Amino acid sequence: MAIASAAAAAAAAACRPHLAGAFLLAIFFAGAATAASISGAESSCQRDNSVVKDISQMPQGSYGLEGLSHVTLAGALAHGMKEVEVWLQTFGPGQRTPIHRHSCEEVFVVLKGKGTLLLGSSSLKYPGQPQEIPVFQNSTFTIPVNDPHQVWNSDEHEDLQVIVVISRPPIKVFFYDDWNMPHTAAKLQFPIFWDEECLPSPKDEL
Ligand SMILES: *[C@@H]1O[C@H](CO)[C@@H](O)[C@H](O)[C@H]1NC(C)=O
């Protein structure tokens, strides 16, 4: 991939011979990209396309979110999924996702524990006071497209473990600071934390 992008960069520079400096710069960045992809090989993004994968051997991390364990079971960037992506997530006692929304469908299956789904409104200008909906082991719930929400392990003792299925990966999430933040002010997070190490190197503009 790095070689392809170096070639593309060279081709781009060749189209604009007056940009000799840009060409050198492109070579420099191609070198940097190569270094990044070498370190990427040791990152948590393993492009493993075997049919059956042992979940306990798959990359797992908290990706900067306290009390979270995330595994991408089947992902767009890691495994080439086109229509859906599936995660296994475990939240420690008291942990919550950020308040967020996305324009894809999302289905949860609660494998273990219990918690609270906080669901805001997409029809007001801001999420507003969320509904508090209890979720429990062996329950399933879906998040309406674009509804701001937060999953909270409201139990003080046990982990909450869920399977999450999203459509249209890779996910583009908008984060809210609080339930009164206008939808238009929510901040885009793309790629989502666990996709960062799996992103292909940026394409050169031609
Ligand atoms: C979840 O519900 C299904 C359908 O009733 C049942 O077969 C299964 O044993 C339940 N699993 C757990 C962990 O309670």
Banded model confidence at residue 87, pLDDT cuts 50, 70, 90: very high
Rounded to the nearest angstrom, the distance between the alpha carbon of 160 and the centre of ligand 1 is 16
Rounded to the nearest angstrom, the distance between the alpha carbon of 152 and the centre of ligand 1 is 22
Q: Is the pLDDT of residue 8 over 60?
A: no
pTM summary value: 0.77
Q: Is the pLDDT of residue 43 over 60?
A: no
Nearest to 73 by CA among 98, 100, 91, 54: 54
Tell me how far apart the alpha carbons of residues 95 and 79 are, in angstroms, rounded to a whole number.
28
Domains, the chain, with CATH or none: 2-41 (no CATH), 55-198 (2.60.120.10)
Q: Is the pLDDT of residue 16 over 70?
A: no
State pLDDT tens for residues 186-200. 999 999 999 998 887
* Rounded average pLDDT over 82-97: 98
H/E element, 20: helix 20-41
Tokens of 177: 């600071």
* Rounded average pLDDT over 173-188: 98
* Rounded average pLDDT over 63-80: 95
106 has binding-site annotation: yes
Q: In the β-sheet with 160-167, what is the strand arrangement from edge to edge? A: 68-74, 84-91, 160-167, 106-112, 140-143
